[in-house]
Amino acid sequence: MLKYTIRRLLGMIPMLILISIVVFTLAKLMPGDSLSGEIDPLNTNPEYIAEMREKLGYNEPLPVQYFDWITGFLQGDFGKSTRFKVPVADVIIEKIPNTLFLGVMSLLITYILAFLMGMYSGRKPYTIGDNAIAGVNYIMLAIPSFVAAVFAIYFFSFHLNWFPFGGSVDILVEEGTLDYWFSRLHHVLLPALVLGAMSTASYTQFLRNDIIENSRKDFVRTARAKGTPLKKIYNVHILRNSIIPLVTFLGFDFAALIGGAIITETIFTYPGIGQLFLDSVTSRDYPTLMALTMLLSFLTLAGNLIADILYGIVDPRIRLD
């Protein structure tokens, strides 16, 4: 297992290098640069822009720029955000708690909903209830989350007044108090619901299929022959077996937790990684864009690795070496 992990970790290095080259090139291929949005007779003059381009090294050939960037990156210097004018690491660290909070909440909502729906569907497959659940799930999956977000704000915030329409916390509440955490929870709930409830489909269907499959297995027949109550068979014997493969999904969710929800965060003006990523793309903030991409790529690769290792743990038949 250890050998396998190390091998996989080493294998990530060329992958990350390749990703960095591709993303860097793509980023630079985008028209304009971080200064082209600043052309404005009130604030700047052409000399300033030319001078800044020179200072930021935008006039160097692309490979030189890449090399400069990667050298700094490897030494832990992610560069200075051209937009916020502070080190990229600071910008990212500032946003991570928000995004993590939203990610965990939405994942929790997904898990709970998917668990309940999957259990029901698995127990009563091919009934109206099962089909309704599948239908709703796939419709939710098909609705773009930004459309859902706008509707959710309109309905829950403006009509019912249940939730705030945006932000991550009420600024008037004193930091550190119980009210503060309550306010944060209150703010995060609606975006988390939109994100969480919309993506239950894969978990629900996975759980459902696994339960159906398990319910046809010999041990279930034996249990029934013994006269074990059906409820117990489903809730204990089958569920325990069916939940194990779900654990491996955790690995894939790993990157999604940090990656945030790009558009949803923007609509809810929830300052997190997703919003930052979007802004860094539109304002051509290369250092931030690259650092975020690398972070997300790394997390995805790491997530895959965790998923693979978890496979091995939950199912000893899968040999990793």
Partner 1 sequence: MKKNKSLLWLFAMILVVSAFLAACGGDDGDTGSKDSKKEDGTTEDKAADGEPQKGGTLVYGIDAPPEGLFSTAFYGIQTDFDVISLFDESLINYNENLEPEPNVASWTTEDNKVFNFKFEEGVKWHNGEELTVNDWVFAFETLADPDYDGPRYTNVQTIEGAEAYRNGEADTISGVEVINDYEVKITFDEARVNNLTNLWSYPLPESVLGDVPVAEMSASEWVRSTPIGIGPFKVDKIVPGESVEFSRFDEYWNGDVNLDKIVLRVIDNSSVVGALQNGDIDMISLQPVSGPEVEPLENVEIVTYPGLSYYYVGFKLGKFDNATQTITEELPKYQSKELRQAMMYAINRQEWVDAFFFGYANVVNKPVPTSHWNAADDAEADLNTYEYDPEKAKEMLDAAGYVDINDDGFREDPNGDEFVVKFSHYATGNPTFESRAQAITQYWEEVGIKSELEMVEVNLYYDMIEKDDPSIETFFGGWGTGTDPDPSGLWKADQLWNYPRYNNPEADQLLDDALNIDIVGTDQQKRADLYIEWQKIVNEEVPMLYIAELEEIVAMNERVGGTEFDVSGSNSPAEWFVTE
Give the CA radius of gyration of the chain.
Answer: 24
Closest distance of CB 34 from partner 1, Å: 10
Tell which one of 262, 309, 310, 320 touches partner 1 (CB under 8 A): 262
The stretches of 75-200 forming alpha helices (DSSP H) are: 88-123, 128-142, 145-152, 178-198
Closest distance of CB 77 from partner 1, Å: 14
* Triad 246, 250, 252: Cα angle to 5°: 110
The H or E element spanning position 153 is none
Number of residues assigned to the chain: 321
Closest distance of CB 201 from partner 1, Å: 17
Round to whole Å and give the CA distance between 133 and 131.
5
Instruction: At 251, list the tokens.
Output: 């690995």
Binding to partner 1, residues 4-33 (CB under 8 A): 15, 19, 22-23, 26-27, 30-33
Q: In terms of CB distance, is 9 or 26 closer to partner 1?
A: 26
Instruction: At 228, list the tokens.
Output: 């074990």
Closest distance of CB 222 from partner 1, Å: 34
Instruction: At 142, list the tokens.
Output: 């098909």
Please report whether residue 123 would count as binding partner 1 according to CB under 8 A.
no
Helix or strand or coil: residue 170? coil
Q: In terms of CB distance, is 95 or 237 closer to partner 1?
A: 95
Interface ranges with partner 1 (CB under 8 A): 15, 19, 22-23, 26-27, 30-33, 36-46, 48, 80, 83-87, 94-95, 150, 153-154, 157-158, 161, 165-169, 171-172, 252, 255, 262, 266-271, 275, 278-279, 281-282, 284, 293, 296-297, 300-301, 304, 307-308
